[in-house]
Copies of this chain bind each other. A is one copy, B any other.
């Protein structure tokens, strides 16, 4: 999930930008499905490749399908970073966050119905020998990369084209972190299963602070990257 919202990217033959209500539906459904298929697989298996594939594949098709409509955030970090960009109104920012939270809670309920109690429903958690700082570093570093790549690819590509590289970054990140800190990369990915299964650990703040901080830093790095292009005015971006 998590691509940049831009009124310029009117893929899919729309004559006007999508209305807010439609975008909120997409954010709610997309966040729900990301957690449903991701955590739903992580509930059953701890095979690193399988769990990473599950999160990456759902990311690709969600961004492909919903990206052209809502921007495909599905992530509080992405929404806050783009709010920072100044292209979203306050009402939009809060709408996105509330829709995403509702989607996360809905997915938790679905997972609870499907797997019952007695499991963490794929709630991310630190594995043995992984310290809180290690877990925070994984969340923070991977979402910096994810945020930078989302800014980069959606600046020059349509969402449908960006879906594949963005999904691959998610794949790489989960291969790095899924068997270490559970690799949320997304506060909602933690929230949904955690609330539904009643799994709370004192270190759970890393799944909120890490991704939101990482998305902001990634966004700032992308601004710096663009600034370095135009530094001496010899070169200019055609777009962005």
Measuring CB to CB, which residues of chain A are less than 8 angstroms from any residue of chain B? Answer: 11-19, 21-22, 25, 33, 36-37, 40-41, 44-45, 47-50, 53-54, 57-58, 60-61, 64-65, 68, 110, 113-114, 134, 137-138, 141, 145, 149, 152-153, 156-157, 160-161, 163-165, 168-169, 171-173, 175-176, 179-180, 225, 228-229, 231-232, 234-239
Chain B residues whose C-beta falls within 8 Å of the C-beta of A53 in the assembled complex: 49, 171, 175
Q: Name the distance in Å between A46's Cβ and chain B's nearest Cβ.
A: 11
Contacts A165-B64, A179-B44 given; indicate if A22 touches B228 (C-beta within 8 A): yes
15 further interface pairs, Cβ-Cβ under 8 Å (given A13-B156, A113-B137, A157-B160): A12-B239, A18-B235, A19-B229, A22-B225, A22-B229, A25-B228, A37-B172, A40-B175, A49-B50, A58-B168, A61-B168, A61-B172, A65-B149, A65-B165, A160-B161
Q: Name the distance in Å between A60's Cβ and chain B's nearest Cβ.
A: 6
Chain B residues whose C-beta falls within 8 Å of the C-beta of A114 in the assembled complex: 134, 137-138
